[in-house]
Every structure is written in structure tokens, then in C-alpha cells.
Structure 1
């Protein structure tokens, strides 16, 4: 089963998104957006930018 993005509203009425793996585990969460369109744009940004994003290890 493929992963999926879910758009939802939080307790303050803001729009958020989360990325779930195929097994249902939440693997990423977006910030709070004032509009649903903002949350959808956030999803598109993740989809576009994630493949090129570098990994920065700040634990060392």
C-alpha cells in the first residue's frame, strides 16, 4: 500500500497535513495553515522539494 497525505483541521481551526506510510504510521507533519489551500500548497512543496533535499546530520 502506498503512502498518503491527509489534510485535516486542528483544535484551533487551522489546516494541517500529515504524511502517512503505507502501514498507517505518521512519518511527517506539516505546520498550521490559515487556509486549506495553504495546506495543499505545503503538500505540493514537500512533493517537489523532498527528492532533492540533502540530509544534514546535526547530531555530530
Structure 2
């Protein structure tokens, strides 16, 4: 199974997307958007920016877990990862996004 973006409406009525790996695990998710079209634009931004390593930031959260953010050219965060137990795991996650996102299908769920 190939990676895919899932676009969905959350309980607050905002639209979000998440990138799921081929094994079904969540790799990263977006913020909430007021319109479905904006979430679709966010997916396109991830596709475009995920091939640029300098757009990823890996960091340790307050919980001690490691995360990454993917930023657009305007420095706005467009996707945040799940928590990883190690920095190496988070870096591996950025590589997974770089490989999967450009060709990942977007589906409405």
C-alpha cells in the first residue's frame, strides 16, 4: 500500500490532513483550516516543500519526545510529526516524508 494524504473534517468543523505511510501509520498532520480547499492547498505545499531538506526542523519537545516540522517557503508550519523516542527516529521520519509525499494520493475521508 502506498502512502496517502487523508483530508478530513475534525470535531470542531475544521479541515485537516494527515500523511499516512504505506503501513497505515501517521507520519504527520496539519493544523486546522476553515475550508476544505485550504487543506488541499496544504497538501500541495507539503508535496512541494518535502523535497527540500532545509524545510524540515527536528526538535525535542517538552515531553522528551522528538518531532519534526515541515515549513513552507514563508516559514509557516504546514505539517508536524508524531512523537518519536529518538532524534534519529524523527530524522528518519523527515526522510519518509521526502520519499512519500510528492507522489502520495490525496483522499477525502
Same-fold status (TM-score > 0.5):
yes
Provide structure 2 residue ranges, at least 5 long, that are not aligned to the other structure.
61-109
Is residue 8 of structure 2 the alignment partner of residue 8 of structure 1? yes
Name the one with the larger strand percent: 2
Specify the alignment match of 1:17 in structure 2.
Answer: 17
TM-score (norm 2): 0.50
* Distance change in 2, residues 1:25/1:36 (3 Å): same
Specify the alignment match of 1:45 in structure 2.
Answer: 45
Provide structure 1 residue ranges, at least 5 long, that are not aligned to the other structure.
none
Which deviations, in whole Å up to 9, do the C-alpha atoms of 1:32-56 show, x marking residues without a partner?
Answer: 0000000000000000011013244
Aligned residues: 59
Q: How far is 1:57 from its partner?
A: 4.6
CA–CA separation in structure 2 for the residues paired with 1:19 and 1:57: 17
Specify the alignment match of 1:29 in structure 2.
Answer: 29
Root mean square deviation, CA, Å: 1.4
CA–CA separation in structure 2 for the residues paired with 1:53 and 1:15: 27
CA–CA separation in structure 1 for the residues paired with 2:58 and 2:49: 18
TM-score (norm 1): 0.88
